[in-house]
Amino acid sequence: MNEDYLANIRPTHRQLQWQRMEMYAFTHFGMNTMTDREWGLGHEDPALFNPVGFDADQWMEALKAAGMTGVILTCKHHDGFCLWPSAYTKHSVASSPWKDGKGDVVREVSDAARRHGLKFGVYLSPWDRTEAAYGSGKDYDDYYVNQLIELLTHYGPIFTVWLDGACGEGPNGKKQQYDWRRYYNVVRALQPEAVISVSGPDVRWCGNEAGHTRENEWSVVPERLRSAELTAAKSQQADDGEFSRLVRSDEEDLGSRKALADYDGPLAWYPSEVNTSTRPGWFYHENEDAQVRTPEELFDIWASAVGGNATFLLNVPPTPRGLIADADVKALAGLGKLVADFKGRMIADGVTVSVSSTCRRCTARGFEPAALLDTAADSAAWTPTCRDAEPTVTLDFDAPCSLSAVVLREDITQGQRIDAVDVYVDGQLLAHRESVGYQRIIRFDEPVTARQVVIRIPGFRTRVHLASAIAVEA
């Protein structure tokens, strides 16, 4: 693999803006909420949809408390029931008793999201178990595209169109060959800043729904992984209640130099999204109220995902009344406190930062090593000289500190370049990692007291661009 090629694949503007969102919500809500199912059968009576306590602002308050930056709504799931009054079907909220058929969940959720400073995204299931044209080819594609156009033109800016590739009704069911290229072209034309996720070319599914992050996650991977058909083949194939906690172990390394050593095909910037739910299911089920993930468990997933060069998509399913349940509200608030506490323990005062060398041509004019203590997205990055075989950052503390973690960030506008990083505390090697990327949170097994932390980068693809190197108090 050509090293210059590998090191200089970079994100698009839309991918960069998406990565900086870090953690955002999925809200699975719809007919399945009312029927207590995960996968609806289609043709359910619209009269079943009547969330009498619906309050989108309550949703947003709960999501904001967790530190979320956006929300994706299941505008239509596999059952085909539309949460907006689509002009292309009667199987929608317009045929329900909710608000006398004049309601629009998509409108209320998108408006509430913006009121609370959250970005809005849409999920539109390609599989539709109600629409008669499903399985017919172009006629169904026309139907799907028309609904996609409605969502992309009537509800303001969209940050993501989330597509899962669900297809068919079992061995004897109808199958639709989706015209993915046509779908993508519509999104690009109408919402050019929206990432197309999972069965799309911008954001890669992590490969499980359990919240598992690879030990080393790479954003530069073989271009073939952007195949929607490949993603669909690895997605859930049946509503068996088992897939949500299944973790595969056969694709743990997708982009290391070792994994790509014999690969000579095209590469792509295709970063990972880690997704899971607060509950075993994606839709709300009352019998799961006692199975909501704890704040501590959610924080561990956040630290592994957002701290492992991925984003964290956390599903929070509203109840049949149209509210986030108390158990989920409490879990989200607890998560938000843990994240805020972690960020608040990043040490910026009483630290002297030094570096092994600085390339004045590649580093911003006036750069000082102390800039590495800044976590702002536009903070100046450090680049060592081309002769520096082992770039090193040293953090010296005015007094001994009890530490729990180190946080590193590359300037990914220049690509993902670090292949190996070692963390030494008072001269002792405490951690070795490979990938860094957007952000790497290296948590220690137990707190350590230190006067000095040394971060060495013994492996890199080409010139390193390091944006942050920060120690975290215990």
As a whole number, mean pLDDT of residues 427-432 equals: 97
pLDDT at 421: 98
Q: Kindly report, residue by residue over 166-217, the tens digit of the pLDDT.
A: 886 655 567 788 999 999 999 999 999 999 999 999 999 998 888 899 999 9
- DSSP H or E stretch at residue 433: strand 428-433
Higher per-residue confidence, 249 vs 338: 338
Q: Say how many C-beta atoms besides its own lie within 10 A of residue 466's C-beta.
A: 24
3-state helix, strand, coil in the chain (%, to 5): 30, 25, 45
> Rounded mean pLDDT of 267-293?
97
> Which amino acid appears at position 468 of this protein?
S
Give tens-digit pLDDT for 143-161.
999 999 999 999 999 999 9
Q: Are 247 and 212 within 8 A, CB to CB? A: yes
Q: Which helix (H) or strand (E) holds 16?
A: helix 13-19
CATH label, 3-344, candidates 3.30.930.10, 2.40.30.40, 3.20.19.10, 3.20.20.80:
3.20.20.80
> Residue 434 pLDDT > 90, yes or no?
yes
Pairing of strands 204-205, 272-277: parallel
Q: Which two tokens stand for residue 461?
A: 């693809």
Q: Which band of pLDDT confidence, cut at 50, 70 and 90, is reported for residue 249?
A: very low
d(CA 133, CA 130): 9
pLDDT digits (tens, 9 = 90+) for 354-392: 999 999 888 888 899 999 999 887 788 999 999 999 999
Residue 232: is its pLDDT beyond 70? no
How remote is the C-alpha of 360 from its chain's centroid?
35
Quick one: CA dihedral 254, 217, 121, 328, positive or negative?
Answer: positive
CATH 2.60.120.260 fits 351-473, yes or no: yes
Q: What is the pLDDT of residues 38-51, one digit of tens each?
A: 999 999 999 999 99
Instruction: Copy the structure tokens of residue 257.
Output: 């130099």
Percent residues over pLDDT 70 in the chain: 95
Look at residue 234 in the predicted model and tell me its pLDDT. 61
- Report the DSSP beta bridge partners of residue 158: none
Residue 354 main-chain phi, psi, to 5 deg: -135, 155
Instruction: Estimate to the nearest angstrom the gap between the alpha carbon of 379 and the chain centroid.
Output: 23
| pLDDT tier at 248, thresholds 50, 70, 90 | very low
Which two structure tokens, joined as six digits, stand for 198? 């999972």
Contact at 8 Å (CB) between 308 and 214? yes
CA dihedral 59, 63, 68, 74 (to 10 degrees): -40
CA 308 – CA 206 distance, rounded (Å): 11
Q: How far is CA 356 from CA 145, 149, 468, in A?
A: 55, 53, 15
Contact between 310 and 197 (Cβ < 8 Å): no
Of 282, 214, 217, residue with least CA distance to 248: 214
As a whole number of Å, the end-to-end CA separation of the chain is 41
Neighbours of 364 (CB within 10 A): 13
pLDDT of residue 175: 79
**Residue 227 pLDDT more than 90?**
no
Other beta carbons less than 10 A from residue 428's beta carbon? 10
Domain residue ranges of the chain, discontinuous segments joined by +: 3-344, 351-473
The per-residue pLDDT for 246 is 37
Judge whether 54 and 108 are in contact, CB under 8 Å: yes
CB 278 within 8 A of CB 314: yes
Side by side, the strands of the sheet bearing 310-315 are 195-198, 160-163, 119-124, 70-76, 23-27, 310-315, 272-277, 204-205
Residue type, 289: D
Q: CA–CA separation, 241 vs 257, rounded Å?
A: 37
- Sole residue written with tokens 């501590």: 296
Cα distances (Å, whole numbers) of residue 217 to 50, 226, 242, 251: 43, 16, 25, 11
